[in-house]
Each structure stands twice: as C-alpha cells, then as structure tokens.
Amino acid sequence: MTDRAAPRKAALRPLPSSNPPEALPAPKSFEPGQFPQVRMRRNRRTDWLRALVAENKLDASDLIWPVFVMEGDKVREPVPSMPGVDRLSIPALIDAVGHAGELGVPAVALFPVVPPALKSAAAEEAWNPDNLVNRAIRALKAQVPDVGVICDVALDPYTSHGHDGLIEDGEILNDVTLDVLVRQALAQAEAGVDVVAPSDMMDGRVGRIRQALDARGHDKVAILSYAAKYASAFYGPFRDAVGSKANLGAGDKRTYQMDPANGDEALRECALDVAEGADMLMVKPGMPYLDLVWRVKQAFSLPTFVYQVSGEYAMLMAAIERGWLDRDRVLVESLMGFKRAGADAVLTYTAIEVAERLKKG
C-alpha cells in the first residue's frame, strides 16, 4: 500500500454522528445559474485569483515606441504639447533605443523633424539617401541591430505645405504622389529599415511599394499599412512635434484620410491593402476607434496594430498633471483596452514608461 492511499481511506470513514447531513441548512430557494448561487465576485476575491482568471496580459513585447528624431549632437528637446516626450538627435536616439531594447520593447517607429529649409513643394528631401531619417536608420541598425526599425512613408515632414502628398491647384494628387512614396520607401530600405509604414492614405501605395521593394531585392522589408487612418483632430501635438503644423496651416487632410463617421469603409481600405501585400494592418487613432481594432482583427486575422496617437497621449498627460487621473493605473488601463479589442501591438508614446513599470512588476 502506498503512502498516498492512506489519507484517502481515512476520508472514507463515516462522518461523525454529531454532523449528520440533515443538519445542513436547506437553501431557501435554489435557482441554478442565478444569484445567490452565482456570484461573479468570487473570482475577483484575491490578487492570485484575479491573476489566474485574467483574459489579457500587457507585455513590453506588445509595445512599439514612436520617436521624433532631430538634427544635432547628443541633444534632446522637449515637445511642449506632449509632456515627457523629447525630440532626440541621432546620438541620443541610439542610447534611448538601446534602453528600449533592454526593456523588451521590440521596435521603434521613427518620425523626423525636418529643418524648414529642406522642405519643398515636391518633397525632394523625402528620398534623399542621406536625409535625417535614413541616417538614423543606418545608425540604429549598426549600433542597436536587435531592435526593429519602422519608418513612416508619407510626405508631410518634407512638404512646404504640410500635406502627405503633392498638390496641384489645391488638389492632393494621388498617382503622382505614389512615385515619390516609392522613392522614399526605397531610400529607407537601402538604409536598412525593417518595416516601411505608409501613413499617407493615397490609394494603391501598398502595391506599388511592395512591387518596387521586391524589384530591388528588398523582399524581406515588411509593410505595415496605416490602412484605416482617420482625418483626426487627435494628431495636433504630433504636428507640433515634427513641425508640420505651421506648414499645414488651416488645411486639413479630409480628402485622403478617412471620415470619423465611417466604419465599413475602414474594412474596405484594409481589404485592398491586404490584397496589395500588406504584412500588418494599423488602425489610427486608437481609443476613439476601438470598434475598428476589433472588426479589423476579426475580419483579416492579420497582425493588427493600433496607434495611441499624440492627442490621446496629451489628453492623458494633461489630466495626470492636474492630478485628475492616476498615472500608474491609467496608462496601463488605456493600453489594456487595445489588447482586449484584439490588437497585437500598440504604438504608444508611453512605451518606455510602461515597459519600465511592467519590469518592476
């Protein structure tokens, strides 16, 4: 007889007569599947129980850190409308991205702050092989090779008018812009970018970029399409950060970015980009568009990313600074919402702070 069997046998002994079954109080009413038998709070009772039943987990590997890159040596410059966010020169960027990698943040997304003198109507600087962002890509791939580098493909940092495409008589030209976007993407690929992320919302750009990359031997460069990108008021602080706000002036992007009123249209945008060869899809902004995160993930089963944009960040920070929201909890909660909606990764300016917090536990 094994040791294990002994207590079992003991348990089979008859109950002491002082505790007969009929002494148990009979329930007044028994309705299975109803209160009071069913109590949802049972599973929320303790930390260990809540951890056990948690449906989603936020991990550093869910985060992509968007960074503003500027000219200069070892300089950082705060962005006033995004408290806690700095523009970084390339040497500062190397250090910061190294830190991001140590925290387990898989990738960064680069956004250049282009000196005004280099902006033009035709955005020639966008495909200069030695422009700021291409130098940043080269430096990162040489010095922090294990962190993924994602780069925006759009002309707004480079145009004197602040639009994502070329203009004629007030109209944003689609097909002419495609040629420039292709050159821009190729220059980034030559510099060593891992993922190009067209954020311009011109029609047909994903297919044209895929074709051009493959024709030049860049078949390993992935395309993250900003497929469902809305003409949003939440981009304001970003335009401050990259210095495109003054260029854009009173202009808006409603002839190419999507109308916030539309949801089905976002699925069509995604379907086209999937057919054209997108490897990953993005919904942008994030919090006001969680329905689209859910629908896009369900419809395409592709890696689906969401961008918690500058205005969402500014909104959180403004309330945190005033003491109206609890920093420790609200940042993680806002990201958990994206995970629950089905996002595979979130672009967030809070990536470093949140990854540090997750590491501390």
Ligand X SMILES: NCc1[nH]cc(CCC(=O)O)c1CC(=O)O
Smallest distance from the beta carbon of 276 to Mg ion, in angstroms?
9
Give catalytic status of residue 359 as yes or no.
Answer: no
**Site membership for ligand X, residue 338 (CB under 6 A):** no
Among the listed residues 9, 141, 220, 229, the single catalytic one is: 229
Catalytic residue among 119, 253, 284, 339: 284
CA atoms within 13 A on the CB side of 233: 3
- Does the annotation flag 71 for ligand binding? no
Q: Is 9 assigned a catalytic role?
A: no
- Binding segment toward ligand X, per CB under 6 A, in 17-25, 41-49, 149-157, 269-277: 149-157
Nearer to Mg ion, 269 or 312 (CB): 269
Residue 213 interacts, among Mg ion, ligand X, none and using kind-specific CB cut-offs from 5 to 8 Å, with none
Distance CA 227, CA 296 (A): 10
- In terms of CB distance, is 209 or 217 closer to ligand X? 209
**Phi, psi dihedrals of residue 111, rounded to the nearest 5°:** -135, 115
Other beta carbons less than 10 A from residue 88's beta carbon:
24
From the list 28-36, 135-143, 234-242, 269-277, the region that binds ligand X by CB under 6 A is 234-242
13, two tokens: 């002994």
In the bound state, the residue with its beta carbon closest to ligand X is: 238
Q: Is 310 in the site for ligand X (CB under 6 A)?
A: yes
- In the chain, how long is the greatest CA-to-CA distance? 97
Q: Residue 308 forms beta bridges with which residues?
A: 348
Neighbours of 8 (CB within 10 A): 9
Buried b (16+ CB within 10 A) or exposed e, 128-138: beebbbbbbbb
Select from 359, 199, 221 the least CA-distant residue to 282.
Answer: 199
What is the smallest separation between the CB atom of 312 and ligand X, expressed in angstroms? 8
Residue from 62, 125, 156, 194 that binds ligand X (CB under 6 A)?
Answer: 156
Which positions lie near Mg ion, rule CB under 5 A? 269
Q: Is 62 in the site for ligand X (CB under 6 A)?
A: no
Site map (CB under 6 A) of ligand X, residues 192-231, x = contact: -------xx-------------------------------
Nearest of 303, 245, 253 to residue 273 by alpha carbon: 303
The full DSSP string for 112-169 is E---GGG-BTT-GGGG-TTSHHHHHHHHHHHH-TTSEEEEEE-STTTBTT--SSEEET
Angle between helices 290-300 and 264-276 (to 10 degrees): 40
CA distance linking residue 301 with residue 295, whole number of Å? 10
Exactly one of 114, 185, 309, 352 binds ligand X (CB under 6 A); that residue is 309
Query: Does 158 help bind ligand X (rule: CB under 6 A)?
Result: no
The residue count for binding ligand X (CB under 6 A) is 12
Please select the residue that binds ligand X; options are 65, 127, 230, 238, rule is CB under 6 A: 238
Active site positions, annotated: 229, 284
Annotation: binding site for Mg(2+)? 269
| Residues at the contact surface with ligand X, assessed by CB under 6 A | 152, 154, 156, 164, 199-200, 235, 238-239, 253, 309-310
